[in-house]
Amino acid sequence: MTEQTRIASTFGALKEAGHLAFMPFITAGDPDIDATLSVIRELGTHGVDLIEVGFPYSDPIADGPVIQASYTRALDKGLYVDNIFDGVASLSADELPPLVAMASYALLFRRGVEKFVKQAVESGFAGFIIPDLPVDEAEDAGKIVRANGADLIQLVSPMTPKERAVETLKAASGFVYCISVAGTTGVRDDLPPELTDQLNWLRTQTDVPLAVGFGIKGPEQVDILRDAADGVIVGSAIVRMMEGLGRSPEGDAAVLAKIGTFADSMVQATRKK
Return the active site residues: 52, 63
User: Which residues of the shown chain bind other proteins in the complex (CB under 8 A)?
Assistant: 57-62, 64-65, 68-69, 72, 75, 80-81, 104-111, 113, 131-137, 140-141, 155-161, 164, 168, 179, 181-184
Nearer of residues 129 and 225 to other proteins, judged by Cβ: 129
Residue type, 218: G
Nearest to 14 by CA among 93, 97, 125: 97
CA distance 132 to 59: 11
Q: Which is nearer to other proteins, 122 or 139 (CB)?
A: 139
Torsion sign over Cα 190, 168, 154, 9: positive
CB 48 within 8 A of CB 22: yes
Taking the least distance from each CB to other proteins, the nearer of 211 and 255 is 211
Q: Which is nearer to other proteins, 26 or 141 (CB)?
A: 141
What residues contact residue 233 under an 8 Å CB cut-off, 6+ apart?
23, 24, 25, 52, 177, 211, 212, 213, 214, 216
CB-based contact 54:67 (threshold 8 Å):
yes
